Structure 1
Amino acid sequence: MPEAMNWGLSWPYFLTAIVIGYLFGSIPFGVLLTRMGGGPDLRSIGSGNIGATNVLRTGNKKLAALTLVGDMLKGTVAVLVGFYLIGGKNAALLAGLGAFLGHLFPVWLGFKGGKGVATYLGILIGLKWPIAVTFAAIWLSIAYLSRYSSLAALVGSLFVPFLLWFWAGERQMAEMIAILTVLLWFMHRENIARLLQGREGKIGQKEG
């Protein structure tokens, strides 16, 4: 991301960035795409999650891929809108936070959303793409070896704040992403319990 514009963080900018980010993040691509594709209510199958991993459990790989792309792009677009249209780096960070919260707690679905992995990646793409590539590489490696999407996301997200702070020298960004990482782990609390019990569903595993 280019060097940020220098602006004083005021309440109008703060609220605008958060709200716009939230609106982008709250678009439930998984639910919309499966509904348009004639599939079941995504919230009634598998984990009940609205993300790409659960869409894959319907057996429709194309819709799962589209959901993944949509959930990523809404995070990226929110960050770029925050940076270029609202007020630079600070606004980009706030818009990213808003997008993540929107995905986790969308008002349109009674504040019951997804777990945020794809949106987390999309936010990283908008903020610092080399870190996003590193996160994706870690995710893919662990997912390939274990076939556990949740484990891959949990491990990969642990590295991101440290990479931002010590490798990229982005202290403020690292602090914000650390908040997102804590939220991501919180949303995966049931997955963590199932992983420990050996009951976690694997990638591509259908319901029933």
Structure 2
Amino acid sequence: MNPSLDLLLIPIAYLIGSISFAVVVSKCMNLPDPHSYGSGNPGATNILRTGNKLAAALTFLGDALKGYVAVMLARVWLGDQSLTGAFGSWVLCGVALAVFLGHLFPVFRGFNGGKGVATACGILFGVNAILGVATLSTWVIVAVFLRYSSLAALASAIFGPIHFTFLFGFQPMGIVLLAISVLLIWRHRSNIQNLLNGTESRIGSKKSKA
């Protein structure tokens, strides 16, 4: 492959990540703009506060698929199925980070995006299915038993890079996943404060308009 063409995968991944499925689903299903209620976050958990479970599920699926599709397209293009190979591996790392940054700072929405939980999940599944299942299982266990989506996301952010290192050892992608985890935790800083204060809303609860 032409290295110059390979690098184009990174801005393409960013543009894919910039598609806000919370906004798309809300418009298609005649729901309020997700920025206008609850936490104001364009994500599945906030969409769930409308009481529309289908809309929340479609939002999560769409945001996860864009992470998965961006990584898988890069892997197919680069022929990089084993996460090895110097240049290809670093381009793949760039794609993973770019699609995540696209979700956090979407060019189509004035760089005002979501927190990245679903997109990070899709990225992990794109990197390796076992890695995705292990990290998603962490989210599900915490969410089911404690009913805090934010706490489940934080636990997954911590364990995601650990799962990767356990499966693959020290690889460039592990550094990127660590960076994604740090960004995800940073985006949840208000949730962390709410958890400490005991004011964080549980899954399924509704909030008044922000």
Query: SS of 1:58's equivalent?
Result: coil
1:116-150 CA distance string (max 9 Å, x none)? 00000000000011011011111001001111000
Gaps of 5+ in 1: 1-6
Does the alignment pair 1:119 with 2:119?
Answer: yes
CA contact (8 A) 1:80 1:92 kept: no
* Percent of matched pairs sharing the same residue: 46
| Runs of 4+ residues deviating >6 angstroms | none
Q: Is the 1:105–1:111 Cα contact (8 Å) retained in structure 2?
A: yes
**1:139 alignment partner in structure 2:** 139
How far is 1:11 from its partner? Answer: 5.8
Partner of 2:16: 24
Residue in structure 2 matched with residue 183 of structure 1 by the alignment: 183
The one-character-per-residue Cα deviations of 1:8-27 (angstroms, maximum 9, x if unpaired) are 9x56533x122011111111
Q: TM-score, normalising length from structure 1?
A: 0.91
TM score, norm. by length of structure 2: 0.90
Structure 2 unaligned spans of 5+: 84-88
Which residue number corresponds to residue 86 of structure 2? none
1:30–1:42 Cα contact (<8 Å) kept: yes
Task: Output aligned runs, 1:61-80, within 5 Å.
Answer: 61-80=53-72
- 1:154 matched residue in structure 2: 154
User: For 1:87 and 1:99, how far apart are their aligned partners in 2?
Assistant: 19
Specify whether residues 138 and 18 from structure 1 end up closer, same or farther in structure 2 by C-alpha distance, changes over 3 A only. Answer: same
Q: Partners of 1:87 and 1:135 in 2: how far apart?
A: 25
User: For structure 1, which segment, 189-198 or 162-171, has the greater mean C-alpha deviation from structure 2 after superposition?
Assistant: 162-171
The Cα of 1:154 is off from its aligned counterpart by: 0.3
Is the 2:134–2:163 Cα contact (8 Å) retained in structure 1? no
Q: How far does the alpha carbon of each residue in 1:72-105 deviate from its partner, in whole angstroms, 9 at most, with x for none?
A: 0000000011111256342332211111000000
- 1:18-64 deviations in whole A, cap 9, x for unaligned? 20111111111011111111111110010011110011011110010
Q: Is contact 2:63–2:119 with CA below 8 Å preserved after alignment?
A: yes
Aligned residues: 200
